[in-house]
Structure 1
Amino acid sequence: MEETDHKLECEVQGQLTELLFRNALVALIANLVTGAMLAYVNVSIHAAWQPALLWWMGLAAAALGRYAHARLFQRRRPDALSASRWRHRYVALTGLVAAVWGAGAVMFMWTAPDTARLFTGLLVAGLVAGSATVLAPVLSALYWFTGLISVPLLLSILWNASAPIHVGFALIVVVMTLAIFSSARYLHQTIRASILLGLERGNMVSRLEEANSAIEAANNAKSAFLATMSHEIRTPLNGILGMAQALKSADTLSAEQRGDYAGVILDSGQLLLAILNDILDISRIEAGRMTLSVTPMAVEPWLMDTVRAFEPVAQGKGLRLSATWHGPPERRYSADALRLRQMLSNLINNAVKFTAEGSVQVDATELGVEGGRAVLQVRVTDTGVGMSQSVQDRLFVPFTQADSSITREYGGSGLGLSIVRRLAQLMGGEISVRSAPDEGACFMFEVPVEIDRESTLSLPAVPDRPAPAAATVSAPETVVAGSPVLLVDDNPINRRVAEIMLGQFGLEVVQATNGQECLDRLDAGLRPVFILMDVQMPVLDGLSATRLIREREAREYCRRTPVIALTGGVFEDDATRCRDAGMDDFLAKPLDATQFRRVVTRWLDGAGAPTADS
């Protein structure tokens, strides 16, 4: 608070100083003109012109020096903290100008007749009174200017006083000086209060703008998060409901087909469960309702059990997955083993997901044992794609995805790392990352734990959430004779569901995994009856791909190929964006068999897009 008040006071003094320097030109003109009038009148009445000219030249030099100093201040624009040095120099130069005026008042009044004295006194009094408004921003300048002029003038009057009128004139000078001081002080306080009010209002406006920007950014981030969650949730739902409808409607299915369909439903259900668990976890952490369950645990079996769950996925990708405990073999700790496993599982899952070849290494060790407490450090190092510094800066921010294109390519809700960081902070620790593009990444979290010196029992493995099984990407089929349908979707389960539904019409399906592959199929000569186009895809999304298709059709005068949108976005804005991009129809995920059949039949029959009544 004191620091804020000091900063505000510096800003007030800085603006007062700037206002003082801004009046320098007015002060210069007033001094030169008034000094010339004083010298001319006194020379005309009684004074010699040489001393008067020398005095005026001295006054002009002092006034011009002060003005030059003011101009230099305005060019350099010093900050509020350094403005005080400039202000002190200006006050000193103002004192010099006042000293010259005081010397002139004595010189012109010492042996002058009463008429010249009266004129000199009135002229100097007017100059001092006028200076009150010019010098009021800095009272010390006004005090020096008024004092160095009024005191010599007053002494000169009293020294040469020969009549009561002279004493009365001296009293008038004293009263006038006191009145100037009083009015100048009031004016200074008014100016200061006005500046302070303006600064406080400006600070308040800035704080309000910052608060509004933060609220808007938070709303935008949460809106983007909700849109991503909607898409991620509808993807496994599409696999579940689509396969369930296929099982229900099929008359004859082999045991292998039933097992295949059931496997898709199971995988999709596990993926949906993992997404929902992540949403619930981040919601509980944000609301401060997440509590830790501390129990004794041995690190080595905990570590090996956690890593072992990811061995099938790693082996399927040809990755080397290994783990090492570098701490004391028999040491046990009091910690929340379930949440620690959740943290490590998220890091291993990311490492395996973003590593195409090479290895994933997990290392755990004990750091800094002191007073029955230690720091447990866990590192997960991979040889994957890595990331730039800009991506790292927003990697752990909740409701924010580091890179939406990468997330769409590799899948996931983007909540895992946010949860890891919040859990680490809940335990009194922190997580960090070291990475560079194409050089892999090393995630490391450190949490303080109590050393358990009493437990000697081997603890059972901590149960973990079921991890979704890896889906096998179907290879695109070759173009067949007849009238094919082009199916464009980056998710293999979604393609499988749509392919099964299209198979009920006896249609041949050509697949593409993104918008660019769709364009490549069309460039190769494929002429589909219609295109089923997913909206959110890596490389090239569905909206952009549709725009390029429409541009090519217009350029080459080709037949318009109907494009039916497949998207998890179900709001009116989503449908509007699809229509604006040139799409002809709209199917929301998860696909409904009845709606799917109605839309496909409409386009196969050549009826075209639905009317307002359909």
Structure 2
Amino acid sequence: MKTRLSERLSYKQARNTLILTFLIGALFSVIQVTLDFYEQDHAIDQEMQALLNISSTPAARIAYNIDEELAQELLLGLLRSPTIIRAEMTDENNTPLAAISRDIQHDTTRVVSDTLFGKTRQYKKPLRVAYDPEEKLGFLILEIDTYIYGSSFIKRSVVTAVTAIIKGLILAIVLLLLFYRMTTQPLSALTRDLRRVNNHARTPIALKYPAGHEYDEIGSLVDSINRLLHVISTNLKKRRQAEKQLRNYLVDLENIVDNRTAELNARNRQLRDSNEELDQARQDAVQMAKTRASMLASMSHEVRTPINGILGMIDLLLRDNPTESQQAKLQLARESGIILVQLLNEVLDFSKFESDRLTIEAIVFDLHDTLETATALLGQSATDKGLILQNQLDHALPHTVVGDPTRLHQILTNLLGNAIKFTHHGSVILKAWAEVQPDQQCQLHVEIRDTGIGIPEAMQEDIFTAFSQASSDTTRKFGGTGLGLALSKKIAEAMGGSITVESQPNEGSRFTVVLPFEQTVQEVSPYPLNHHTITIAGTTMAIAAPPVLASIIYGYCREWKIDVWVPSWHGPWRQQDLERLSKTALLLTHAQHLVVERQNPTLLLQGSDNTATNTPENDTVVMPLPIRKEQLHTTLAELLGSDIHPATAYSMTPPNVIVQEAPPITTRILVVEDNPTNLMVAEGMLEQLGYQVTTARNGQQCLDRCQKALFDLVLMDCNMPVMDGYEACRQLRNNAKTCDIPVIALTANALSHDRERCYRAGMQDYIAKPFERSTLKKTLEKWL
């Protein structure tokens, strides 16, 4: 292949050298021309100044004698200079004595000269005589044409540029020939020799050194190529030997393949048999998984149905004026049933995690209410053990957020329940705050501290493992399955958060939950009264409560700008404390430290069992523990306002007194349930709520009842004989008379796909068994 001139190495070297030489030459030419310009410009001024100096002496004498004829002759002599185009002599008052001029020389190249040096220049020199230097006799004025100097400068510049270009071209040609001779020619010869090498030659071939290049880089290249050719020749020889051996091996291999083929056929038959067994095992595993899911759903339904009957009957008995002994026993039975439901829910949720079917909701909910409800639900358990259970909400905690309130409530109740279970004296405190981000995202931090038995450091990781507890005798002493913490941690991680623990034996524990939520744009005020704060100047409130509870209430009061003081909790009241107490507007005290002789209002804090050490007076407001922040704010606003009302708003009704709700407008409800116990429970709850109840034992009876009478709502069980609730609901929807009746599922099927199946059948809502009376009431009020 012939190399083009533009691709030759010598050409590229000469080209690059020429470009570099041209750039350097151009730079030096520009510098030389620039210096020449400044020298020429300065030479013009110097020449004219010299001419003025020579002419100024005779011109001064002429001006002194005021001889116009001599002045004219002097100016004519100056005008003989080719550069001078005008000469003028004036007296001291600028009156002309003589003046002479001529036209400017015109040329096509004047534009460049005039741009560089200007078209004309004017010089002016005062005239004085030597014997009277102070007196001005006049001025000698000369105006010159710069073209003569400019044209001379332009010619020199052109010569400089042309010379630089010619030098560059000559240098390029010389370098091109030199590089071709020293580089391209020997490399081309070396390339030709390489092309003549026979790749299949049995003897190695050595290239010759180009003349004069035995010891330079080209000679080194030849040495490297010769070594490479020797290696190639050696490898070719070895390859021929290997090919010969390979042909011998192929013959042997054919014999071996024939023998192995028979063996492989036998093994293939065994493999087919194994694959059939594996496929059967896979089908058995799939069937087992389906059976497990069906068993789980069946277990959920079969367990929830009798539990609903038990809890419902207990609720009905609690409202039939039982004796105190009977009430305590019924309450214990009810709590045991609730624990059983919680255990069932934990097992179901844990199974959802194993099958990746747990869903996390994203709805707007009241964060304050969710946190305080979790503590309120466990208030009775804390009171029974003599513990202080209280929540502490930060003032900057968002009120409404977007997330899953059910899962948050589940995590909190698990952690709070554990804290109460393993704490024998002291307190359990839920502290919550949030880190709000500019993009409406916030990190919720919930810290649950207790003063319980603590957890050894070596066991702190194991407590989050399913069916594991801190020690082997924990289950025997405290009960439980070890699912609560494991499930809570999995739920927190599914929500994008975490749960950590810090604990020391006999020093209590601190569980910290961090969960991400989205803050709503329109933040609802958690304290609608008094615009977030109770500003009461000069008003004092006293807090007589255990230190941990007093500290939380004190922080709330300072947040609301209430002047508050905390007397000593331990020991009897001192005289000075009693005197100061008599001057306070309000006393907030615990049931264990109630002051009876007091004229001003008292806010009494007591456990949710409604028992107190001392009987409250008429001017005492009772507030149950744990305190809700909004409820405390509202109560203080009423008690410390201009109109102080006696306390009746928050005192609770004793549990043995039945509160009969005002019956709604005559409303007929059809309850469809095949289980007699559950039917009796639902019927009793609805009658207590003031509704007219009609019952049916299956879906067919439901359709018959709806044809004979008009109902405002139907509570429908799903699994029934004759006709199930799904089919009955579909037929109700297909009937013009019954298509608009609200149908609410009342079923023990608690899995997520069961809820979706109810909605697909046409049911508007869903109540899972076991259900509480409050849940039933709330759902009915929603649809009626």
Larger RCO, structures 1/2 (Cα 8 Å, 6+ apart): 1
- Report the TM range for the smaller structure's normalisation: 0.3 to 0.5
More strand by share: 2
| TM-score where L is the length of structure 1 | 0.33
| TM-score normalised by L of structure 2 | 0.27
